[in-house]
Amino acid sequence: MEQVFVQVAQQAVEKIDRTRAVAGQVFVGLLHHKPEIPHIPHKDQLRTIFSNEALKELHWLAGERTFPLFVQLFDFPDFVYQLVLGFSVSVGGITENTVKASAGALRDFLVKHESDEQFMLRLMRTVGRIFANLKEQPRLCLSLLRFLEFLLCDPVIVACMQSHLYGAALQFPDPLRSKAALYLTQGLRHKYPIIRKTTATKLFECILVYDIVDPDVSAELSDLLSETV
């Protein structure tokens, strides 16, 4: 039953709208079935994600509504392999609405987990395993390559990760510290709110940890950073 459940989750994040809709409804039907179905992994956590409130008036054909729910399954190692397969054909596909919805949900999830090295390593290793397993299927490999390009080149993901890199560089003396500070201040003016917020959070942490600001202005600067959106 566990493998069936995980396979259904994969179908719920693939590129065909009707397939996703049917798979999503089957997924929540199995999850909330009475009497309970045994051997469903992480049942309690999944019921929190797919709560009755979250499912209320959910339009299953709307990828911008369903992808943000299913992308949270990346938190559970049991689902990662199948989710990468599913997201690779939706993010790496050619249907604009599906690409936009799936990439947006995945981007938001990855930005929230950017400092989780174990998760990132697990994700990239899974992509590598799938490449090895599907090397004789060029059609799927093309979608995987587009998916990998997204992971490595998406400007929001890259910018947020760079904030952590330059934040760590603040602990070193000039000229490295000055260059890192210049990049971080540019990040505070970025057009994407998530990048401004991530940069502000990282800079706030660095001020507390590295003692790089005059104590007279530290409190005021911390207040400004905490208000950055």
Tell me what pLDDT residue 229 has. Answer: 52
Domain boundary among 102, 126, 153: 153
Q: Which two tokens stand for residue 92?
A: 């790496």
Higher-confidence residue: 151 or 85? Answer: 85
| Spatial contact of 31 and 47, defined as CB atoms under 8 Å apart | yes
In the predicted model, what is the mean pLDDT of residues 128-147? 84
Tell me what pLDDT residue 106 has. Answer: 94
Q: What is the dihedral of CA 124, 69, 46, 73, to 10 degrees?
A: 0
In the predicted model, what is the mean pLDDT of residues 70-99? 94
Neighbour-count burial for 104-127, b at 16+ CB within 10 Å, e otherwise: bbbbbbbbeebeeeebeeebeebb
Quick one: pLDDT band at residue 228, thresholds 50, 70, 90? low
C-alpha closest to that of 76 among 158, 23, 2, 15: 2
- Same structural domain for residues 51 and 8? yes
- Same structural domain for residues 57 and 101? yes
The pLDDT of residue 63 is above 60: yes
Range of the domain at 196: 157-226
| Spatial contact of 5 and 40, defined as CB atoms under 8 Å apart | yes
- Same structural domain for residues 145 and 162? no
Q: Looking at the 3D structure of the chain, how many domains does it have?
A: 2
- Same structural domain for residues 190 and 77? no
What spatial distance separates the first Cα and last Cα of the chain, rounded to whole Å?
44
Alpha-carbon span 142 to 93, nearest angstrom: 9
Alpha-carbon span 121 to 42, nearest angstrom: 22
- Same structural domain for residues 26 and 88? yes
Q: Which two tokens stand for residue 152?
A: 């490595």
C-alpha closest to that of 7 among 26, 34, 21, 35: 26
Neighbour-count burial for 41-74, b at 16+ CB within 10 Å, e otherwise: ebbeebeebbeeeeeeeeebeebebbbbbbbbbb
Query: What letter does residue 190 receive in the DSSP assignment?
Result: -
In the predicted model, what is the mean pLDDT of residues 64-86? 95
pTM: 0.74
